[in-house]
Amino acid sequence: MPEISRFLGVIIRMYFNDHNPPHFHVEYNEFEASVLIETLGILEGRLPARVLSLAVEWASLHQTELMQNWESIRTTGACSRIEPLT
């Protein structure tokens, strides 16, 4: 599962051949969640409020890149790193 970004202890990943709808995975310590790219809502899992806020802030800045990665990883298996939240 490729890591596409990492910031402030938050790891963002996408799985090869993952199920629809388009989403990304957020990991932070023992917490994990899947976040929808289109709405930035939680698909499944749980994160501390502050971590969810950081992940959503980051994703809102990179929604186009996230969707491009979603399409690319599903069709070619390749993805690009995305700038971390600074």
Q: Is the pLDDT of residue 42 over 90?
A: yes
Q: Would you say 35 and 21 are in contact if contact means Cβ atoms under 8 Å apart?
A: no
Q: Residue 50: inside a domain, yes or no?
A: yes
Residue 56 CB partners (closer than 8 Å, separation 6+) = 35, 40
Does 86 map to a domain? no
Task: Please report whether residue 81 resides in a domain.
Answer: no
Provide the domain limits for residue 22.
3-75
- Whether 45 is covered by a domain: the verdict is yes
How many domains does the structure of the chain reveal?
1
| Residue 14 belongs to some domain of the structure | yes
Residue 23 has pLDDT above 90, yes or no: yes
In a domain, 84, yes or no: no
What does the pLDDT read at residue 17? 81
Q: What is the pLDDT of residue 86?
A: 85
The residue that leads in pLDDT, 19 or 63, is 63
